Each structure stands twice: as structure tokens, then as C-alpha cells.
Structure 1
Amino acid sequence: MWVNWIQEIATAHWSAVAAPEHVDKYVWVVTRHEIDYRGNISEGESVTAETFIPEGPRGAQFDRCVEFRDSSGKRIVAARSTWAMLDKASGRLVRVPAEVAAPFL
């Protein structure tokens, strides 16, 4: 459940913020997830999520953090995922261009 939400939030953020020509040209794949579980929720409870990019890209890779908080505001899950950018046409890794990274920093 948490990993699915992490990935859905990241891809929704990409789709909402990235320039349409970048969304058309590039795709991201996860190369690593680090997840700290500090609590959980029960069925019917809700969480809020916040995503942010802690620093600029390194070559083809970009880290993204997602934090989930319960209804009292307690952080219950914190994740840091490494994503790699691929060119859709070739399927090859590509260095993240500054214009692609800029809206997320």
C-alpha cells in the first residue's frame, strides 16, 4: 500500500509540474526506495502526504521524499526514493537537463 502511494504521488507531481514536452519525452523508473515506518493507520482512517525534492539531480538520478502524517499530524511513514530518467524513444538513461529539474527545486 505505502509503496504504491509513494509512486502514485511522485508520478502525479511529475505530471502536474513538468512541462508537457518533458512529460512526452521522458519517463522515470525507481531504482531504490528507503522507507521508515513509524506507525500505521487502520481502515477508514486518512493520512496526508507531502512530497519534495531534497536536492538537485545527479546525472540521470533524482531523489524524491514523501512523508505521510496521520490525522493528528504525526509522521508515520517517511520515504526517500531514487528515480532514474529515461528517454522514452530510446529507452536509455539520460542526464536530467537543468530545464527539467528547475520546476522541482
Structure 2
Amino acid sequence: MTPIPFQQELTVAFQHLDEWNHVNNLEYIKWVLDISEAHWTTKTPAETREKHAWFVLNHNVHYKRQAFLGEELILTTWIETYSKVKSERRVLITRKTDGKTVVEAKTSWCFIDRATKKPSLITTAIIRPYIEFESV
């Protein structure tokens, strides 16, 4: 089983900065959520998204370096693991100029049925766009 990564790029803008003139920590969490949503929206059919959603169980964010105004960042995400109703998604934010890691994030998600708001089974059909399965 090999995760299929998904990437987006962004440039740090003034509104992303805190009083120290580097990216506010809350912006990184927002970016983690944004790329996760973009991955789900891009790879999953509309009928599946209408019936199901993901709820965050927890975030683990490791801030390794600071990012500043005008820097170009690459956000990469993938599904690291999954079980019956939960998955662990990773997000890596790197600086485009030198490839250095700015943030590493690990988020646990619960797959839910939108109608019942209860956990729903993650089937092979749901996970297939995100994972390359080995041929046997």
C-alpha cells in the first residue's frame, strides 16, 4: 500500500503574518485543513462527498522553521494509514527555494455519514483514489 500524494503551492501574504512578521501558527493549521479539503474534493466524486464527510479527532503539528512574507511554500498531503472509520493524514509544508521543512502535521480524522453524523465504514472504493494498492 503506497500513499498517493497531493500538492498545492502558496505564497506567504501579509495577512498570514503575526506580530513577529512570520507566519502565524494558526495559519498553518488552516492550511492543513485547506489542503486536506482540497484533496478530498479533487479526488472524491460529488455523490460520495454529499453522503460523507471527515471530522478532525486531533492535530499534531511540529513547527520546524519559520516562514516569512513572500516565501513560496509547497504543501504536500497524503493518507498515511486508515482503519474501519479513521484515517491518519500527513501534511508536509516545505519552502520552495531550499526544500527545507517548515511544518510537519499529522491529523487523525473520523469518516462520518452526513445524515446520521455517526462514523461510517471506509470502504476500498472510498480510499482507492488516495492509496496505490500492491498487486498480488
TM-score tier, shorter chain, comes to over 0.9
TM (norm. structure 1) is 0.93
Unaligned runs of 5+ in 2: 1-26, 132-136
The CA deviation at 1:98 is 1.5
Match of 1:67 in 2: 92
Structure 2 matches for 1:1-105, cutoff 5 A? 1-55=27-81, 57-70=82-95, 71-105=97-131
Which residue identity lines up with residue 92 of structure 2 in the other structure? E
Structure that is richer in strand per residue: 2
Unaligned runs of 5+ in 1: none
- % identical aligned pairs: 24
DSSP-derived class of the 1:43 partner: coil
Which residue identity lines up with residue 128 of structure 2 in the other structure? A
Which residue identity lines up with residue 27 of structure 1 in the other structure? A
DSSP-derived class of the 1:59 partner: coil
TM (norm. structure 2) is 0.73
What per-residue deviation string (whole Å, max 9, x for no partner) do you get for residues 12-66 of structure 1?
10000012221111011110111111101112222111111123x2121011111
Count of matched residue positions in the alignment of Structure 1 and Structure 2: 104
